[in-house]
Homo-oligomer: A and B are copies of this chain.
Amino acid sequence: MRLRNKPWAKDKIAAYPQYVIPNPEQYKGRWNELFGNDHPIHIEIGTGKGRFITEMAKAHPDVNYIGIELYKSVIVSALDKLIENDLPNLRLLNVNAKDLMNIFAKGEVERIYLNFSDPWPKKRHEKRRLTYKTFLELYENILVDEGEIHFKTDNQGLFEYSLVSFSQYGLVLQNVSLDLHNSDFEGNIMTEYEQKFAEKGNRIYRCEAKYRKPMQ
């Protein structure tokens, strides 16, 4: 998405440390203390303006959600939604996905959502795609055994790439949909981008990829 410079974003984020957690490394291995319960934790990497994660948190009060977004100028929109809704089961992190292992302990996350991630279409940028093998390895190090990635995109090339990448890493595909909005998938919550794009009549691709049970 096009980023607008919002010089005030930094101060606003700093003003709401109860929602956008500063120094999240301090909660590594004890996020459930922060939430005050033992509900499973689902994270969204690249949470953007936060509609998806906010609606998910409203719809599933028995799941704890953490939205992760690198860009301050974007995460402030997610923060606005959280201020408005004051959801006890949703928190935001203004960090780089590369640092996830410093923030979550192995097995602390049950599910990862990747929605409309940057496709990085140039081959030389392959390593930046959030479904590249080094990211799949990183996710494995914070997910529970048999944890899942739930992935949506409108980008055909990124979807093709990701199916292969998941498969080559050894993940098992589930619920592949090549036209999500014309499928029988229930309970889909659209991101801001997804709605805009789907209104043009274009296809949304979706799949789930599950890590295999580790060998004993």
Contact = CB atoms under 8 A, between A and B. Distances in A.
Indicate how many identical chains form the complex: 2
B160 A177 contact: yes
A15 B140 CA distance: 60
A173 B163 contact: yes
B160 A178 contact: yes
The SS class assigned to the A binding surface is: mixed
A159 B178 contact: yes
Interface in A132-179: 156, 159-160, 163-164, 166-168, 171-179
Contacts of A175: 164
Contact of A167 (B159, B160, B172, B179): B172
A159 B205 CA distance: 13
A41 B118 CA distance: 42
A207 B164 CA distance: 10
A163 B163 contact: yes
Contacts of A163: 163, 173, 176, 207
A205 B176 CA distance: 13
A177 B160 CA distance: 6
A176 B163 CA distance: 8
Give the one of A160, A174, A205, A207 with max B CB within 10 A. A160
A105 B172 CA distance: 29
Contacts of A168: 172-173
8 contacts: A156-B179, A159-B178, A163-B163, A163-B176, A164-B174, A167-B167, A168-B173, A178-B178
